[in-house]
Structure 1
């Protein structure tokens, strides 16, 4: 308590020096960065035709995308799957319902559009089991999908998501014979909560993924492939350069990854109408131990250590980056920069339109081929598969 009072005594005058309103905005921005995200309504269900099994939604850059997606809602159904766009005008998109909704079912208006598609492992119709990974944070739940290869895939979900985000990739690796471990990590709502319950943007979460590597090695794996989605990409990259098992990492696959947090946070601040110096000051707050604690962070966050473009020379494993240039949430700039910095290791096929973590949904064939062909080129597709 004494140290916190000391932090307040030093930090508050420093923030007030830039103006009270700016100081409030800076602290609020810093707190938002490290606070686990909650799912927010981003569209509305305008009509459901249970006879034709169609659904009408607000037209947004996400809801107008071709492909298969999901909707989180409330009422009789908590999650529904949706398919092809059947029609659209300036305000409304009409899509096919892939979840059978019975007449008289209650489907509430507010909804959140999702690229997950699969919400539980049983939907894949593959053998699987629940396991616990003993990590520094405590026992972290994971789903294990067995396979014949001694190279395991370890998948890491993104910010504000859970393990279900990763399920789309399981059949791809299963077809190659690779066992897949879909993991959780501290403060994601499934794994144990840390003392402060805040994200460290990969700076501490990587230790839980490292524990998953240890689990795989103890249970028959000789090598692992790390796959990270969005912030899970940042965690996977931190694991790749920090783990004592890093020589066992055969390859890295990244979908819409955070490669450099400064690039991402500046972009997101602009999207929210926040101008400089607020994002720069917010990151400065998070880099200072005393000020970081004022924002709710457990420790200072070293953004230099999280900048994998600057640390590109430390990468050792071949890396595949799948990133839409129309991401809309995590810009692809840093991914391109990493690919340019390490053309010897990084492969980045071109994707566009698909937006954030939705390449599988938008172009399942192209996404699957990109992974399968690249894994084959790395010698990671067993001859019998």
Structure 2
């Protein structure tokens, strides 16, 4: 999922394509202006910032900021390594991706071979360059989708099309080793693509499940929503419903939904509202958005946006009067997306995997949902840095937790 960025007071962009941080010190000077004029300016600025923040949440971003400096690439062939600035994510164990050349280049990086806290750099093994000339790259971004397609996992797959509103949505169908009565449907997060679900395909296959890795509205592959805005789960679930319908038409009996971040919010709505909800056997949710109000408040704080501005942004998103600035065809009912408050409405066995160090979607609501509905919700805590990086940093933990839990829920034979 993309990290939201606040606008500057001038609403400009930084040189790297990201958005500059709000200089609140300048806004504080308005207090010295005194009188109604200053109050009017503050009110206007508050409204403008709230509108901008709401649009940032709802509008798909097509260009990712290349906010990772690629300091050097050394060696060649199997001995090639990449040197990057040391951060909590770039020094974490596991397998990740470095995207460069505006996303046209993609390299998979693995183990840390050298770490220099003094110099603030980390050196990692380059496992594979899938596209682009990494040696010439100078900037890019860090990602958790380590593989570009099922073939990179050594698996055959069919490219299929699923009929959705506005056209067809592409998907990968990775068959099980034998005929499968249950399919896993992988639902990626905000700003991500179907590659995000590749991390779970081997696990699903080990359980005898076929995997359908879908695209959905506004993700750059599936058709746009009519308003070209995210519904935060309240509209996207219909594309998941279409995917379930496709699976059932191919002869499967039921499905397990795997959802990452906003994809988890989408999956929860599908389990709540779809005509096929009785065919959903289980939910596996990685770093899920359990309560959008909590996430929006956290993001506002992260971007140093005053609490009142953040609350006004939520009002704009959830009320009909806000449509003129958000561009939404219909307001988003944030109460329907609060699964802590609606814990008794959850009727599907659910496994939540969430890191306590998630820097985008706090894990608190995940733990609270499990506490409120312990009969159906199992919470598995991780300690990996970053958002939706649980599998990347702790693959054995992730796969063991999912395999053990799904084996019990689906009543699979031992071994």
- TM-score normalised by length of structure 1: 0.91
Of 158-167 and 86-95, more deviation after overlay is shown by 86-95
Question: Structure 1 residue 108 and structure 2 residue 137: aligned?
Answer: yes
Q: Offset at 1:366? A: 0.6
Q: Which residue of 1 aligns with 2:73?
A: 48
- Find the aligned partners of 1:120 and 1:130 in 2 and give their Cα distance: 11
In structure 1, the residue matched to 2:16 is none
Question: What is the Cα deviation at residue 134 of structure 1?
Answer: 1.1
| Cα separation, 1, equivalents of 2:367 and 2:68 | 31
How far off is 1:18 after superposition? 6.4
Q: Once the 2 structures are TM-superposed, how far is the Cα of residue 24 of structure 1 from its aligned partner?
A: 1.0
Partner residue, 1:352:
383
Give distance in 2, aligned partners of 1:42 and 1:342: 40
1:80 is aligned to 107
Distance 1:230 1:366 in 2: 19
Which structure 1 residue ranges, 5 or more long, are not aligned?
A: 1-14
Give 3-state SS (helix, strand or coil) of 1:84's partner: strand
> How far is 1:100 from its partner?
5.5
Q: Does 1:138 align with 2:167?
A: yes
Distance 1:168 1:296, change over 3 A: same
Alpha-carbon displacement from aligned partner over 1:168-206 (angstroms, at most 9, x marks no partner): 101110111101111111111000012221101011000
The 5-angstrom pairing of residues 257-296 of structure 1 reads: 257-296=288-327
Report how many residues are paired: 369
What corresponds to 1:7 in structure 2?
Answer: none
Measure the CA separation in 2 of the matches of 1:275 and 1:181: 42
- Aligned match for 1:190, one of 215, 221, 231: 221
Say whether the 8 Å CA contact 1:16–1:23 is kept in structure 2. Answer: no
1:8 counterpart residue number:
none
- Who is 2:44 aligned against? 20
Quote the Cα distance in structure 2 between the aligned partners of 1:248 and 1:178: 15
**Alpha-carbon contact 1:50-1:101 (below 8 Å) kept:** no
RMSD of equivalent CA atoms: 2.0
Residue 193 (structure 2) aligns with: 162
Structure 2: gaps (5+ residues): 1-38
Q: C-alpha deviations, 1:281-333, integer Å up to 9, x for none? A: 00101111131232222221110011111111111110000000101111101
Specify the alignment match of 1:234 in structure 2. Answer: 265
Superposed displacement of residue 120, structure 1: 1.5
Aligned to 1:61: 88
1:341 aligns with 2:372: yes
The answer as to 2:335 corresponding to 1:304 is yes
> Offset of 1:16 from its aligned partner?
6.7
TM-score of the two chains, using structure 2 as the length reference: 0.85
1:270 Cα deviation from its structure 2 partner: 1.0
Note if contact 1:223-1:250 (Cα within 8 Å) is conserved in structure 2.
yes
| Alpha carbons 1:293, 1:299 under 8 Å: kept | no
* Contact kept? 1:43, 1:110, Cα under 8 Å: yes
Distance 2:129 2:333 in 1: 48
CA deviations 1:37-87 (Å, max 9, x no partner) are: 342223110010033411100112211111110000029970001111112
Instruction: Check conservation: 1:227, 1:253, Cα contact below 8 A.
Output: yes
CA offset digits 1:146-179 (Å, max 9, x no partner): 1222011111000000000111101110111101
CA contact (8 A) 1:135 1:211 kept: yes
For the residues of structure 2 that align with 1:129 and 1:100, how far apart are their CA atoms? Answer: 23
